[in-house]
Structure 1
């Protein structure tokens, strides 16, 4: 026999054996940490710009330490504080402005998404002394600029603790659960405006500005908590649903020396989503926005007499986004981001609110603002200039000239800059490369050294059946939409595969991005290697393709997004390797609303859907989010009801799995209960699961594994192994 042929046969056998040894991804792999990525610990630049701090943890023995590192060497310089017999184990920290003292957080417990209660201490770096702020659990402690005092909230009231004297002064006295809140936000501000602490020290520690919420007339919400005891109990809080009354919010000014409080008159301000002191300690900036959220104002408050001047205002036919990009330069001129030219860009204003320059421009979006280097006149930002699925880091002068692309690799790049903008740490990933961390010079982007990568994870993944995401665009309803697709590893174009769509689709969101995988991506890989084609398309209303594309769904939330997913399924079903009779869709939260609507309104296209924690009526969701996109139900009832799936349960033809956590404080289980009741009364069979006491994330213990096993079984039974439909052609009788 030919020796060359024998060698080829042997090599073929080796390759076949090697391929056969690749393992299939399991749910246990996904949820037990097999594919966990190595990350950089959260670091914070010291004010000298040459060093940074990292909070490090050890599991055995259990301790924590706050360590200082050098940017150039990445080596530890010193330990600032470590847990010990005298210093309790701490899980977060905050410096005073002068970096002389540190607040250490212990015994922290969550309230809602961002809010926390805890026992806090002040650590003095020079004396190494430690002082407990309060015997009770408190919220949001913040050191004065010189580190001599701590302001915090307890039981809805604002307090000030004197560190040296170890005495406490109660500043407000009217705080009461369910009615008055001082210094922290209510539920809806926390969730939708994304902040909790609503007080701030000025730059010399003489004033504190704070917000007061009067939620007395906000409708009351309660949900059952089943727990482990004989009787369940009700958890109660104020939750303003669309069209209902919000808390009345007001701005107040505390003079620290005299303890006097005065109210600032902001006119007809409805929401106050941001307060921020300027560099001049006598001036506070305040952002206000109307209930429709289409008219935002930036005010200047003179803290000496509480007089108010409007610096700028911006209107939009749909809505205006609230961001944290406002930055005051040394002379209190300021940087602001806006979509006013159709894309999100950076603008420079003088201290009186006069526009000096639109700094960035073009048919692309600025996606993150990193800051301004005054000494070298460089603004640092992230954008999608290199394609809406990619992210790059750039610098530009305040005149809009001398723009530089600092990142080099195509994918998702983000920057963490030193305080003086000498260095930055670049976090990079793309769909084929897990996170890489590298140190760079900020002035030109030159890489100084590699810090950490995930080469070990790539080696682990070599043992498993993995396929690459195929990125493309698909032309749907007049738009080129971003898409990715996963095909089985042993893909055969002559076969017919079921199609399973995944999406979220919420306003300004993005699921089709050139970045590393998350948990759902591994689940999609698992499904792909069970002979299912998985695809994702970002339809109208999603982000980073300009104002008009994002806001095209205004007043008709879910209508056009659903039409896009239905059309996507129809178009992809024309591909020769996709079985048009086995089409499914799934999503979570907004995506659960979408999958439900798609199954019902696209009942001639979709055979199955999974909806996890779905909104089923926007009437049940909160004011700030919902009214931003739909206005109130009183103004736009059709926009609320025409896309509410429990108003047309009779349209259900396919298989439907409905999942919710009973302890969801965000999208209440009421949504799924109303959907279930509508389907029952319409005599429509469906599958469902309620996870006791689980919140919107539906996790804890074995919960995620159980949920994804249920979803996997449903996909296999109702999609992959779905019986083929009878032929549409009637067989002709055989003539004798």
Structure 2
């Protein structure tokens, strides 16, 4: 067995614990927000590069305001707009500017639909005149101002509308939209969930054209959920959900010419059964970029479409033996050359291509991953990005010239550094935290990284936590099945190597994920600390298939999800169980979603290792999950039945010997409760004892009111009684 210490967060942690008391965490405190950190809401850097705006709320009246602050001094410059000055608008929940910042869209009465989609009431506020008007009396989706600020496009009932402020003309650009049949300009369920975007239309730079994707989902199978509510009869939510191997929506691409009032389809005749995961206008208002991905998701073409002739041409092609990740990093420069990120050398890096698609140069290189692309400053030709160069559990901010020279690390503290740059990249707000330091916000110089001033530091939370028995994460590595894996461990107070402690392992393990990272606590972390306070050791190991260690490591699980990952967790548990202070007869594991899939498999396949498992909202057979996610890693069931069935928990219930708790929300539109119901039936028919809970009308996050408090209380009691 080999466990190597990376570092312990002890030195920084001493600042909190030196005068700490022994107060224990309670679930009530954790889930009522006692340990919530402060931050900025809806921060927007104004185009002058000297000021930024944030959304603030008056605690007494409830009115909301867009306040403008000076970057350098921190002084408030002005209140840009207040809901109290707008008749009929008590408060707004968000805002977005036109490119010239003369008009602002204000959102209110927001109603969530799925994970990212929503609809609401939207107002347009005219900054020069202080005028305001409501876009529509109905709740609409995804309103976006044109670059010139004179028009707004939005979605209503699956159709695209355009309102011209100058002429007062409202135009309905499409008329075939219909629920569960045709969608124009916004994505269907599976695109929203797996390609992570909702708005599927884009304004051209000259404000004269709108490109959009049309989804024909008439042949996509329907899924239905009962929503119980409070009425005498339940309602049924029916939506299109393509499960692995089933038909997807047919996508097509259109360009609407606003001046000519013409709508034309862009023919993509050479592609069959494909995805359009991104569209974006180039700096040339007559050239649209389109990304086309095959269903297997291992071949991506970047197309340039001539908006006049509607003719597409392939500019760049990416191929991968496993799959290609879709990102939002495509950036067009003034000469229409473009910045692109790719894993083609084995690690995610930044590349610069000519307008023709010819590679100019690879900007970043090394055995590490670029994790975020922040932007490009044309004045000094610098690219700003985040990476894991300083250890893959950390994040740092870097600047580098377009030719790949003069790389500079701008952040200085070890942990998780993120950035919000000003519009001219002269300064940025550094969001820093690590496992022992709650979020600190500083204004930093964009050239040197030097701190100009502190903005917020969550010092009040630090003071509050001095009263508690904080349990630090101890970061290390563990060698398992030929790989060195990242790990953390949380130990009880007065830890004694001569005592035997029960071990609870937590993991997620999904492709490209990372649970072992040097960042501040979330609610789950506080719960783990609470368990450590009660005598448990909590450990987390990121096994094969997880992210930020290169494409080979991430894609090792391809076409065989749940095999190597489960082997790694079982092997890690065996190694940890061999430590003198771990009671090998009391090892449990838990996880949510992919982690629930994993914890179920670990208990069913590792009966000699795990005595207990909790699975929350688990996939129990990949045949039940959606096309885009599942086929990306497993191909279709028709092509790879073995990959689907050999590692699905539903097929291994006979292996259950320990204690098992299964939890799901009945209105989970993502991982359907069907997964749990089918697993329950299999367990019953195998005559296996287990515990289970269904949370009515709760989605994949299982939250709302006291729901999470109840959920974690249930899991806590289960652990106490069975581990």
Q: TM-score, normalised by structure 1?
A: 0.94
Pairing 1:25–2:29 present = no
Pairing 1:249–2:257 present = no
Contact 1:199 1:211 (C-alpha < 8 Å) held by counterparts: yes
Query: What SS does the aligned partner of 1:541 have?
Result: coil
Choose which of 114, 126, 131 in structure 2 pairs with 1:129: 131
2:606 corresponds to: 602
Deviations 1:442-495 (A, max 9, x none): 111111011110111111111111121110000000100000000101211111
Distance 1:289 1:188 in 2: 15
Pairing 1:210–2:233 present = no
Distance 2:172 2:351 in 1: 41
1:629-644 to structure 2, matched below 5 A, reads 629-644=633-648
Pairing 1:541–2:545 present = yes
- Of residues 484-493 and 77-86 in structure 1, the stretch that sits farther from structure 2 once superposed is 77-86
The CA deviation at 1:58 is: 1.8
The CA deviation at 1:166 is: 3.8
Choose which of 356, 359, 376 in structure 2 pairs with 1:355: 359
Query: What SS does the aligned partner of 1:84 have?
Result: helix
Pairing 1:112–2:114 present = yes
2:683 corresponds to: 679
Contact 2:20 2:466 (C-alpha < 8 Å) held by counterparts: no
1:289-308 to structure 2, matched below 5 A, reads 289-308=293-312
1:733 corresponds to: none
CA-based RMSD of the aligned residues comes to 1.1
1:143-222 to structure 2, matched below 5 A, reads 143-222=145-224
Deviations 1:160-203 (A, max 9, x none): 11224444211111111111000110000000001111011101
Whichever of the two has the greater Rg, that structure is: 1
The CA deviation at 1:107 is: 1.0
Distance 2:421 2:516 in 1: 27
Distance 2:718 2:416 in 1: 33
The CA deviation at 1:337 is: 0.3
The CA deviation at 1:85 is: 5.2
Deviations 1:286-308 (A, max 9, x none): 10100000001111011111111
Contact 2:154 2:160 (C-alpha < 8 Å) held by counterparts: yes
Distance 1:43 1:512 in 2: 28
Contact 1:28 1:705 (C-alpha < 8 Å) held by counterparts: yes
Query: What SS does the aligned partner of 1:436 have?
Result: strand
Distance 2:81 2:304 in 1: 39
Distance 1:169 1:246 in 2: 30
Contact 2:21 2:466 (C-alpha < 8 Å) held by counterparts: no
Distance 2:383 2:20 in 1: 52
Contact 2:124 2:134 (C-alpha < 8 Å) held by counterparts: yes
1:231 corresponds to: 233
1:43-122 to structure 2, matched below 5 A, reads 43-84=43-84, 86-87=86-87, 88=89, 89-122=91-124
Deviations 1:406-427 (A, max 9, x none): 1000001011101111000101
State the aligned residue count.
702
Q: Relative contact order (C-alpha < 8 Å, sep 6+): which is higher?
A: 2
1:458 corresponds to: 462
Instruction: Rate the CA distance shift 1:507–1:180 in 2: closer, same or farther, 3 A.
Output: same
1:556 corresponds to: 560
2:7 corresponds to: none
The CA deviation at 1:96 is: 1.0
Query: What SS does the aligned partner of 1:364 have?
Result: coil
Choose which of 482, 485, 489 in structure 1 pairs with 2:489: 485
Pairing 1:372–2:372 present = no
Distance 1:581 1:213 in 2: 53
Contact 1:131 1:163 (C-alpha < 8 Å) held by counterparts: no
2:5 corresponds to: none
Deviations 1:80-134 (A, max 9, x none): 1111253412111111111111111111100001111111111110111111111
Distance 1:21 1:363 in 2: 43
Deviations 1:183-235 (A, max 9, x none): 11000000000111101110111110001000000001101111101111111
Instruction: Rate the CA distance shift 1:374–1:716 in 2: closer, same or farther, 3 A.
Output: same
Contact 1:151 1:158 (C-alpha < 8 Å) held by counterparts: yes
Distance 1:647 1:112 in 2: 30
Query: What SS does the aligned partner of 1:313 have?
Result: strand
Contact 1:499 1:533 (C-alpha < 8 Å) held by counterparts: yes
1:603-622 to structure 2, matched below 5 A, reads 603-622=607-626
- Of residues 618-627 and 457-466 in structure 1, the stretch that sits farther from structure 2 once superposed is 457-466
Contact 1:157 1:170 (C-alpha < 8 Å) held by counterparts: yes
Deviations 1:672-700 (A, max 9, x none): 00111000000000000000000000011
Pairing 1:659–2:663 present = yes
Instruction: Rate the CA distance shift 1:633–1:403 in 2: closer, same or farther, 3 A.
Output: same
Contact 2:109 2:121 (C-alpha < 8 Å) held by counterparts: yes
Query: What SS does the aligned partner of 1:242 have?
Result: coil
Pairing 1:313–2:313 present = no
Query: What SS does the aligned partner of 1:593 have?
Result: helix
Choose which of 579, 583, 595 in structure 2 pairs with 1:579: 583
Contact 2:50 2:71 (C-alpha < 8 Å) held by counterparts: yes
The CA deviation at 1:53 is: 1.1
Distance 1:368 1:21 in 2: 39
Contact 1:222 1:235 (C-alpha < 8 Å) held by counterparts: yes
Contact 1:40 1:437 (C-alpha < 8 Å) held by counterparts: no
The CA deviation at 1:508 is: 0.3
The CA deviation at 1:42 is: 2.8
Choose which of 633, 654, 660 in structure 2 pairs with 1:650: 654
Distance 2:460 2:340 in 1: 42
1:701 corresponds to: 705
Structure 2 spans left out of the alignment, 5+ residues: 1-17
Query: What SS does the aligned partner of 2:84 have?
Result: coil
Query: What SS does the aligned partner of 1:505 have?
Result: coil
Structure 1 spans left out of the alignment, 5+ residues: 1-17, 720-736
Contact 1:390 1:513 (C-alpha < 8 Å) held by counterparts: yes
The CA deviation at 1:20 is: 9.9
2:42 corresponds to: 42
1:398 corresponds to: 402
Contact 1:440 1:448 (C-alpha < 8 Å) held by counterparts: yes
Distance 1:230 1:63 in 2: 37
Contact 2:21 2:469 (C-alpha < 8 Å) held by counterparts: no
Deviations 1:6-25 (A, max 9, x none): xxxxxxxxxxxx99952110
1:449 corresponds to: 453
Distance 2:96 2:406 in 1: 36
Distance 2:283 2:409 in 1: 30
Distance 2:108 2:402 in 1: 42
